[in-house]
Structure 1
Amino acid sequence: MNGPLFYAKILLFGEYGIIKDSKGLAIPYNSYQGALIISEDNSEKAIDSNRKLKAFFQYLKALKDPSINLRLDDLKADIDNNMHFDSSIPQGYGVGSSGAVVAAIYDKYADNKITVLENLTRDKLLKLKAIFSKMESFFHGKSSGLDPLNSYLSLPILINSKDNLEATGIPSQKEGKGAVFLLDSEMIGETQPMVNIFMNKMKNEGFRKMIDRDFARYTDNCIDDFLHGNVTSLFGNVKKLSKVVLKHFKPMIPDSFHQLWQHGIESNDYYLKLCGSGGGGYILGFTEDYEKAKKLLQDYKLELVYRF
């Protein structure tokens, strides 16, 4: 049995801001995907995945939440039959590895599930997000539900606020020189410790004001520019956002990348920002000249996400 594929996701804009109810934009990233599989695979990876699915099943069973209407007996039977999540999505990299698992389980085992073929009203999106939030909390302690939502629908999602979501379209890619790319920090990041740092910082009034005055404003401007194809304005706002993140989110940026981050801002050759919660995993890059950025960053693994 090979289940349907569920893709990774990239939160282009909105990391941390969406916790505080500002805008976000998440897009599917089809370079990585996973599927539920029942097989005779006895590799360490398959055994580990099966073990995690067993623990996830116990969590879902204990939830006893009527809004999560899953056929748990079928899920248990398949897990006992050596089902695992066969995935190329890197874990701890900020691209939604646990979100894809949640989406796959919901897709296969939910009764009366909401599907992408329906008219996806705001109420349906919020209902799905709430279900996914409860399910994915098993992996992160607290989840917005956005990663599984993006993976399940495989559509760009615009977050206007936590109670206002919409599936959206993004401008089609062009064969231009500019690009959005991923830079591999070659470190695994953990979401929970980074979120804890952020929540502690939010106790400081100056930090809260900065989030409202600068971080949320630049994020909102970047999203508007991106969705409307205002590339020149976008790079100006991404630069401002990159500066704010370097100044105020240093603990979320691995130490070895502080100088690289600063160099991008000073040279205007590329701008870096967090991809997810930070602390490792991928760093998101924006450049008006991808070939030049590739040469400057030749010591790092880059992956192309989107062309301008």
Structure 2
Amino acid sequence: MKHPLFYAKILLFGEYGIIENSRGLTLPYNAYKGTLQFSSELNEIELKSNKSLHKYAGYLKTLSLPKKFAINISQLEKDIENGMFFDSNIPQGYGVGSSGALVAAIFDKYSEKKISSDKILKTDLKDLKIVFGQMESFFHGKSSGIDPLICYMNIPLLIQPNADVDKIGLAESKVGKGAVFLINSGMPGETEPMVQIFFEKLKNEGFRKTLKEEFIKYNNNCIDSFLSRDMGSFFQNLKHLSLWALNHFTPMIPRKFLKIWKKGIETNTYYLKLCGSGGGGYILGFTQDYEATEKLLKNYKKEVVYRF
């Protein structure tokens, strides 16, 4: 029996800003994936996943989902009793959608009215994002629903300020010198504490002002120029965005990476930003010359996500 695969995701732009009505740009990352599987003899890892699914099914029972997005909880519980687990190599706490892939897999298998991801109408995307947000809140306290949506759709998505979602095409150049890449911090991050720090910061009027007037402006400019392939404007705004994050998101940046974060800005070779909520996991990097960046960051574990 074939089990559908659900891939990791990368939120290129929009971390934290989406909470305050910025735009977001996200794409699938097929290096990591997960699928629901069954085993009659669960090993230690599989048993841990199975127990987690049991708790999750209990949480899903408490939700009042719209009829068209209803989940067959009784069948889900039966399958969990019969040894179902989530077989995944998506690293947890790394900002690449481990819980999003699980939510997408559960919805795909147990939604009472089957909705093929390639036939979803634009009008349904917004509603589905809300449902996915409710379903994923079990893992993070509060979720926008974007991670499960990108994992479910498996295509690049543009998130608009009014919570609308647009499917977009994003051509990749396999031979381009430029790259989007990940740096492994070597430690997982925890979403909830990082988000709490952000909400504490929002209580400060000065922070709210700079978030709206600077961060969201640079974020949205980056999305526009990246999609239109205006790389001059893109890297100009990206430098501002990276510097802003260094000044205002310092608690979310793992301490040992502050030095290379500054080095990228000072040398203009690459620019770094948070991947997800930060605090650990992956750090996202952008460069017009990956070869030169490779030399500067030779002591760090990196993965190329996208070439241009």
| TM-score, length of structure 2 as denominator length | 0.97
CA distance in structure 1 between the partners assigned to 2:41 and 2:210 by the alignment: 51
Do residues 96 (structure 1) and 93 (structure 2) align?
A: no
Q: How far is the alpha carbon of 1:120 from its aligned partner?
A: 2.1
Secondary structure of the equivalent of 1:161? coil
Partner of 1:80: 81
Asked whether the equivalents of residues 171 and 229 of structure 1 are also in contact (C-alpha less than 8 Å), the reply is no
Partner of 1:205: 205
The residue that corresponds to 1:23 in the other structure is 23
Any conservation in 1 of the 2:221–2:234 contact (CA below 8 Å)? Answer: yes
1:1-308 matches, within 5 Å, as: 1-67=1-67, 68-121=69-122, 123-308=123-308
| Counterpart Cα distance in 2 of 1:90 and 1:119 | 28
| Native 8 Å contact 2:129 2:149 kept in 1 | yes
What whole-Å deviation, never above 9, does each CA across 1:254-289 have from its counterpart, x for those lacking one? 111111100110011111000000000000001111
Ranges in structure 1 where 5+ consecutive residues have no aligned partner: none
Aligned partners of 1:8 and 1:31 also within 8 Å: yes
- Distance in 1 between residues matched to 2:43 and 2:187, nearest whole Å: 24
Specify the SS of the correspondent of 2:99: helix
Tell me by how many angstroms 1:229 deviates. 1.2
Q: Is the 8 A contact 1:70 1:106 kept in 2?
A: yes
Question: 1:183–1:300: 8 Å Cα contact kept in structure 2?
Answer: yes
Deviation of 1:78 after TM superposition, in Å, equals 0.8
1:168 maps to a residue whose letter is: I
Conservation of the 8 A alpha-carbon contact between 1:171 and 1:228: no
TM-score by structure 1 length? 0.97
Mean alpha-carbon deviation: is it higher for 161-170 or for 202-211?
Answer: 161-170
Shift of 1:140: 0.7
Q: Deviations over 1:18-50 (max 9, x none)?
A: 000111001110110000001235322111110
Deviation at 1:64, TM superposition (A): 4.3
How many angstroms does 1:117 deviate by?
2.8
State the number of aligned residues.
307
Q: Which secondary structure state, in structure 2, belongs to the residue aligned with residue 63 of structure 1?
A: coil
Q: Answer with 238-247 or 173-182: which moved more.
A: 173-182
CA deviation digits over 1:279-300, x for unaligned, max 9? 0000000111111211211111
* Distance in 2, Cα, partners of 1:19 & 1:290: 31
**Distance in 2 between residues matched to 1:182 and 1:98, nearest whole Å:** 19
Contact 1:170 1:227 in 2 (8 A): yes
> One-letter code of the match for 1:167?
K
The answer on whether the counterparts of 1:24 and 1:158 sit within 8 Å (CA) in structure 2 is yes
- 1:220 and 1:113 mapped to 2: Cα distance? 34
Give the CA deviation at 1:2: 4.5
Shift of residue 235, structure 1, vs aligned partner? 1.3
